Structure 1
Amino acid sequence: MSEPPAGPYDVITMGRLGVDLYPLRAGVPLAEVETFGRFLGGSAANVAVAAARLGRRTALVSRTGADPFGEFLHRALRGFGVDDRWVTPVEGYPTPLTFCEIFPPDDFPIYFYRRPKAPDLHLDPGDLDLDAIASAGVFWMTGTGLCEEPSRTATLAALRARGRRSRTVFDLDWRPVFWGGAGGASSDGGSTGHDAMAAARPHYAAALARATVAVGNADECEVATGEREPRAAAEALLAAGVELAVVKQGPKGVLAVHRDGTVAEVPPVEVEVLNGLGAGDAFGGALCHGLLAGWELTEVIRYANAAGALVASRLACSSAMPRPAEIEALLAGQRP
């Protein structure tokens, strides 16, 4: 895409982008997998795709390697209707690959290949169109973008450009392996898990002070605030500076608390889970859509919850993002 858009973007996301290589059979360990599907991946990219599927004008700010996988990601973004003008190549660093194992309903080990350094962590403040970021209806950034320089400085510069404009979203997006942890979430990272959280927390606090919406699960909330219990975590996120705290609880549903006292507690949507890895990104894209539409908080969370459930029932992430009719059908009681 080369021509500038007419007016501000609905959604601009910033952060992780790579290629997902997922087994085409569930219940098979990677050591025994023979065939993989290739998909666009990365949380920020998936959220942009999810919002585009719902009719929003979206763009991604990220980087790839100067290699064929990077070319694939550009084609994929454009095919999904996501503006890729701010996705640029980095010489000398390969486009990241991510593998997973699929053991439904709740075991999806994930393996990141992002060394020596992921191109999306080479985002520099000079790479940013701060006017576009400031004017977007939603700006979405992630915890991964804070884990290394120069991406950390660029992410905070983007938040400053927003000036605490409404719908500035911090996806808490905790991946301890990117912060020196051994893997897993919070204390599951073994002796390094708590060290990784301690390294991340001040940077999360700096971002929370400039965001207006925070979204995360119990582990991610613990990194950001030290709290895991949903209501305590939501209150701690509000105290840290945001206006809306969204706490995802997996099989227990979602809690959302607004600074004005509005509370939404939404139960899970029952589906047969195939791959849960893309559900949070589908939730994020639908959350952006609902916030932009000005819906009541409970309606926003119900819609986002249904979008996430649909993707959890499918193999892929980006290509599995639902369209409005699919979400509406599920909410009306139809099985996916």
Structure 2
Amino acid sequence: MTSEPYDLITMGRIGVDLYPLQSGVPLDRVETFGKFLGGSPANVAVAAARLGSRTALVSRTGADPFGRYLHRELAAFGVDDRWVTDVPAHPTPVTFCEIFPPDHFPIHFYRRPKAPDLEIHPHELDLPALRAARALWVTGTGLSAEPSRAATLAALRERSARPGDGLTVLDLDWRPALWDDPGEAPPLYKEALRHATVAVGNLDECEVATGERAPLAAARALLAAGVRLAVVKQGPAGVLALAADGILAEVPPLPVEVVNGLGAGDAFGGALAHGLLSGRDLTEVLRRANAAGAIVAGRLACSPAMPYEDEITRALTSGTGSLPERTP
């Protein structure tokens, strides 16, 4: 553990995204692909790092060339990879998508027989570092199988014992295809929410976690489950957030010509965590997180597309997320 706590530690999925370089073409007819770092928690760490947060990831890769690639990418994006270790028994997962803008992006996960990021064991966690971080971000997918399930809950319980006002975020992240038994999810979400301070999810995810689908009812149910801030993403209707002190914020989406919508939620998450840590007004936090998501939706990739602060400001000023991608 370093002497200076991290702003944000994320925990969970990492893999290689292989995205078609032809839009509107079925996967069986695509001829060329771009290779990118992927996995929602990894992308959230990248997004927050782009905005100036000091971030780290807890995950696992295969002991293979794709694993080495992911370590290089994390370092290039400024995400500390000290807790990203190899699992020789399982290959680094890859994910393909199909691109049919504006709203159809089928995902094909290759995570069998088991993804290495589900092989995070509780005894391997650096609990002092997790407790000291200003924010911890975990996902619902981390609850989908052991030993990741026990490790995720151990990290959350460690945060519950943390003094002060640190952020502990549960991204509901409902991916039923990644569960052997999706019926196990609701009680596990309930247990995780008891130890989180912030919950983030779309309407489908909120319904799985709480049984409520109407945005305000879902937010209230998340607060009743134990969090202090519920953030409900509503797609074309924007985002709603309700705090335990009764503050309600609603923000419409920022218009964008969609190229690939898959990274928008991760950009939103990284900007949300960074904004909450900055102490900004809740409505402003949501405005900037929405803009970050819109910017990434207007670009092909996820991790390389994550915006910088000035790009978010420019998008809000111009009223559109359709910005040219910055050349590294």
Structure 2 match to 1:176: 176
Pair 209,133 (structure 1): closer, same or farther in 2 beyond 3 Å: same
1:332 equivalent in alignment to 2:317: yes
Structure 1 match to 2:9: 12
Alpha-carbon displacement from aligned partner over 1:188-244 (angstroms, at most 9, x marks no partner): xxxxxxxx2x32001101100000000000000011001111000000000000000
Note the 1:249-288 alignment, pairs <5 A.
Answer: 249-288=234-273
Alpha-carbon displacement from aligned partner over 1:57-103 (angstroms, at most 9, x marks no partner): 00000000000000000000000000000000001200000000000
Contact 2:255 / 2:319 at 8 angstroms: preserved in 1?
no
Structure 2 match to 1:185: none
The counterpart of 1:66, out of the listed 63, 67, 70, is: 63
Hey, what's the Cα distance between the residues in 1 that align with 2:105 and 2:301? 12
Could you state the TM-score of these two structures normalised by the residue count of structure 1? 0.93
1:136 equivalent in alignment to 2:133: yes
Contact 1:164 / 1:211 at 8 angstroms: preserved in 2?
no
1:5: how far off? 4.0
The counterpart of 2:48, out of the listed 51, 58, 71, is: 51
Note the 1:141-290 alignment, pairs <5 A.
Answer: 141-163=138-160, 165=162, 166-180=166-180, 196=182, 198-290=183-275
The counterpart of 1:101, out of the listed 93, 98, 103, is: 98
1:178: how far off? 1.3
Letter aligned with residue 120 of structure 1: D
Letter aligned with residue 168 of structure 1: T
Note the 1:78-89 alignment, pairs <5 A.
Answer: 78-89=75-86
Hey, what's the Cα distance between the residues in 1 that align with 2:319 and 2:290? 15
Hey, what's the Cα distance between the residues in 2 that align with 1:248 and 1:163? 25
1:180: how far off? 3.4
Alpha-carbon displacement from aligned partner over 1:138-158 (angstroms, at most 9, x marks no partner): 100000000000000000000
Contact 2:190 / 2:225 at 8 angstroms: preserved in 1?
yes
Structure 2 match to 1:311: 296
Alpha-carbon displacement from aligned partner over 1:300-331 (angstroms, at most 9, x marks no partner): 11110000000000000001000001000011
Contact 1:123 / 1:151 at 8 angstroms: preserved in 2?
yes
Alpha-carbon displacement from aligned partner over 1:83-125 (angstroms, at most 9, x marks no partner): 0000000012000000000000000000000000000000001
Hey, what's the Cα distance between the residues in 1 that align with 2:85 and 2:46? 18
Letter aligned with residue 147 of structure 1: S
Pair 131,176 (structure 1): closer, same or farther in 2 beyond 3 Å: same
Contact 1:164 / 1:210 at 8 angstroms: preserved in 2?
no
1:6: how far off? 4.5
1:163: how far off? 1.5
Hey, what's the Cα distance between the residues in 2 that align with 1:280 and 1:26? 20
For structure 2, the 5+ residue unaligned runs are: 324-328
Deviant stretches of 4+, over 3 Å: none
Q: CA RMSD in A?
A: 1.0
Structure 1 match to 2:116: 119
Letter aligned with residue 270 of structure 2: G
The counterpart of 2:283, out of the listed 292, 295, 298, is: 298
Letter aligned with residue 282 of structure 2: L
For structure 1, the 5+ residue unaligned runs are: 182-195
Aligned identity (percent) is 70
1:21 equivalent in alignment to 2:15: no
Letter aligned with residue 175 of structure 1: R
Structure 1 match to 2:35: 38
Alpha-carbon displacement from aligned partner over 1:127-173 (angstroms, at most 9, x marks no partner): 11000000111100000000000000000000111116531000000
Could you state the TM-score of these two structures normalised by the residue count of structure 2? 0.95
Letter aligned with residue 140 of structure 1: W
Alpha-carbon displacement from aligned partner over 1:259-280 (angstroms, at most 9, x marks no partner): 0000000000001011000000
